[in-house]
Structure 1
Amino acid sequence: MQLTATMQDFILHWGEMGTKWGVNRSVAQIHALLHLSPKPMAADEICEALNLARSNVSNGLKELQAWKLVSISRDLGDRRDKFHSIRDMFDLAHVVIEGRRNREFAPTIAALEKVAAKAQDDATPPQVKARMAETLETMQMFDKWYMDVARLPRGVQMAALRLGGRIARFLPKSN
């Protein structure tokens, strides 16, 4: 696949953003290339397009598959695996958010639950216990909100996203 200057800019930016999201730059660039590609790509095509070593591409593809961001397909008569990214942006955002929730947010809530329970039986000052409880309660509230929204049909989620901040007119006014 021949990359245009604009495609290169997109891939480079996605790679830079990946480092800010805690993802290796080349892994994010592989994902960006597959996201832009109109058809699935073989690993050797990815290597050539991005000028990356085969081992780097192999490891990156494994990581992206583990995150469920990239899938494999095969063509009849071709022994090579072909890789493709999730095409639908809504589905892509959902997979990323759900993955981050499972890897980062949910384990933090579980750890805070243990710490808060332990704090009830030790010499932790009451103000610290209260702060821990408030932190846990707020995180649980956000998690419950997310889980409730994630269960809604896609059309309802899209309507809520489009409504955005205008939803405030339907909520009680605060002082």
Structure 2
Amino acid sequence: MLNSPTAQKFILHWGEMGTRWGVNRTVAQIHALLFLAGRPLTADDIVDTLGVARSNVSNSLKELQSWKLVRVSHVLGDRRDHFTALQDVWEIFRIIVEERKRREIDPTLSVLRECSIEGTQDRELDAAALARMQTTLDFLEMLSAGFDDYRHLSPQTLQRMLKMGGKVARFLGPNDKEST
């Protein structure tokens, strides 16, 4: 099943997409493999299926565990670690967005807040540059607050909201240029 052409295409593409998202190709391929497997796999199973080095698999599994996308499980009578991926795509998406926010957006917000404060005292900083920094800070704070508002919603509620998206956009109108 995991060696089928369609499964291989999915795994390879997931690896390609991972590189575009800033994730190591092998990490993304292992995630795809575990997602499709539907059963726990050992590191040796992953090495054999993907044809990558054992050390690369070990490091990739640690990375996936740090993202909380893969969990270790044990099988009775087998001392080896077995790995499973989350199966709920909504939960996977939520975790990825939360982790990216924590790793990328939150540190950026901290620096932008510092720049906003320090910029008012920096006589060499152009007022227009400070305004652009503030605009960026405002945008990222709004994005972060929006995420915080929606991250605890159930997948069913999020699905309904996404389906409403076009209706809300039409209700607000294409010419809604209101700025905050």
TM-score, normalised to structure 1's length? 0.94
Partner Cα separation in structure 1 for residue 2 and residue 25 of structure 2: 20
Per-residue CA shift, 1:37-62, capped at 9, x if unaligned?
Answer: 02110110111011111111111101
TM-score, normalised to structure 2's length? 0.91
Matches within 5 A, 1:83-102: 83-102=83-102
Corresponding residue for 2:30? 30
For structure 2, list consecutive stretches of 5 or more residues without a partner in the other structure: none
1:106 offset after TM fit, Å? Answer: 1.0
Partner Cα separation in structure 1 for residue 161 and residue 55 of structure 2: 43
Aligned length: 175
Q: What SS does structure 2 have at the residue aligned with 1:79?
A: strand
Q: What SS does structure 1 have at the residue aligned with 2:22?
A: coil
Corresponding residue for 1:44? 44
Corresponding residue for 1:64? 64
Per-residue CA shift, 1:121-159, capped at 9, x if unaligned?
Answer: 111122111111111111111111111111334332221
Corresponding residue for 1:132? 133
Partner Cα separation in structure 1 for residue 73 and residue 157 of structure 2: 32
RMSD: 1.5
**Residue 176 (structure 2) pairs with residue 174 (structure 1):** yes
Partner Cα separation in structure 2 for residue 143 and residue 129 of structure 1: 21
Partner Cα separation in structure 2 for residue 111 and residue 84 of structure 1: 37
Partner Cα separation in structure 2 for residue 141 and residue 93 of structure 1: 20
1:89 offset after TM fit, Å? Answer: 0.5
Partner Cα separation in structure 1 for residue 176 and residue 21 of structure 2: 35
Partner Cα separation in structure 2 for residue 41 and residue 151 of structure 1: 31
Partner Cα separation in structure 1 for residue 14 and residue 155 of structure 2: 26
Matches within 5 A, 1:9-20: 9-20=9-20
Instruction: Note closer, same or farther for the CA distance 1:11–1:153 as it changes in structure 2 (3 Å cut).
Output: closer
Corresponding residue for 1:143? 144
Corresponding residue for 1:3? 3
Q: What SS does structure 2 have at the residue aligned with 1:174?
A: coil
For structure 1, list consecutive stretches of 5 or more residues without a partner in the other structure: none
Percent identity over paired residues:
46
* Structure 2 residue identity aligned to 1:33: L
